[in-house]
Structure 1
Amino acid sequence: MQKLNLPKYNFKLKNSENKVLIFDNLRKKYLVLTPEEWVRQHFVQYLIDEKRYPASLIALEKQLVINNRKKRTDVLIFNKNGTPEIIVECKAPSIKITQDTFDQIARYNLKLNAHYLIVTNGLQHYYCKMDFENETYIFLKDIPSYN
């Protein structure tokens, strides 16, 4: 898999039926290792190890319904009260991050009202803080560490 612009982590990998699988520590199971999953696993590990977010507050592929259609957030981080705090949208490294990517995460946030949005393809990371009053987002250099 491609080297990412994130710290290197040691993941449990295995082969099964001609596919490489990666062990997801949060879901406690092996998943097919796609380029997007490679980014998701690295970014989640980054949030836990570097930014100190408790694993217990992180949900992966959380389902939500928008306009009667089922969607899934890649990573959703809750605060201590169980309210969505951060939404992370992961793309494969080969996928260019565009306005469409931001529109996608913004649609999710109309439902979730998280305070921060993150879009990453593992190579580029965009961090935004919501400005609900002006209905826009403010780009940040980094996401705050868990406090």
Structure 2
Amino acid sequence: MLTKLSLPEVKFQTQVKDSKTFIFDVIRKKYIMLTPEEWVRQHFVHYLIANEYPKSLINVESGLHYNNLQKRSDVIVYDRQGSPFLLIECKASSVMLTQQAVNQALMYNYVLKSKYLAITNGLHHLYYKIDYEKGGSELLKELPPFEMTYDNT
């Protein structure tokens, strides 16, 4: 049984194959093996869509290079100009949102340079606005609305 999250409930398409459960990913348009982290990722993607983030600008598990290592970001939302707007790091609901999780997202963002970061375990969510000029970040109370992609700040 998967944990009830603090995100809106979603009726997912699932299927069982070889005693493993798969969940349909509306972004990748295919079934993905259901793990606790995938459960959180799929809920958060649907949360983005419900908050008027365009599906066409959401990318799930895309590759990136950091220190000559191949890494995967959980979710990236691009603005309408094709620049990273929001980087989302998803953890299983059993994983605490520690400084280590924040550091992982910051490490990925060192490559991507997105304006905003979100770290979630499905129960708790941290949102940050990144200030590249001052070299810091501001903790936000909520998910930045997609309309902010038009804001040049």
Normalising by structure 2, we get a TM-score of 0.94
Give the distance between the partners of 1:143 and 1:2, measured in 2 at CA: 22
- The SS at the match of 1:80 is coil
Q: What is the identity, as a one-letter code, of the residue corresponding to 1:5?
A: S
TM-score, with length taken from structure 1: 0.97
2-structure distance, mates of 1:85, 1:144 = 10
Corresponding residue number in structure 2 for 1:37: 38
1:122 aligns with 2:113: no
Question: Which range moves more in the overlay, 89-98 or 131-140?
Answer: 131-140
Deviation at 1:134, TM superposition (A): 2.0
Q: CA deviation at 1:11?
A: 0.3
Partner of 2:56 in structure 1? 56
Q: Are 2:146 and 1:139 aligned?
A: no
Offset, 1:40: 0.2
Residue 94 (str. 1) matches residue 94 (str. 2): yes
Fraction of identical pairs, as percent: 47
Aligned residue for 1:4?
5
Name the residue aligned to 2:150.
none
Cα deviation, residue 143, structure 1: 1.4
Q: Give unmatched runs, 5+ long, in structure 2.
A: 148-153
Alignment-derived partner of residue 105 in structure 2? 105
The code of the aligned residue for 1:96 comes to M
* Structure 1 position 64, deviation (Å): 0.4
Counting only pairs closer than 5 Å after superposition, residues 57-72 of structure 1 correspond to structure 2 as 57-72=57-72
- Could you give the per-residue CA deviations for residues 54-111 of structure 1, whole angstroms, max 9, x where no partner exists? 0000000010000110001000000001000100000000001111111111111111
Give the CA deviation at 1:136. Answer: 1.4
Q: Give the equivalent residue in structure 2 for 1:79.
A: 79
Q: Secondary structure at the match of 2:8?
A: coil
Q: How many residues align?
A: 146
**Could you say what secondary structure the match of 2:12 adopts?**
coil
With 40-49 and 136-145 compared, the bigger mean Cα shift is at: 136-145
5+ residue gaps, structure 1, are none
Partners of 1:144 and 1:98 in 2: CA distance: 21
1:142 is paired with a residue of what secondary structure? Answer: coil
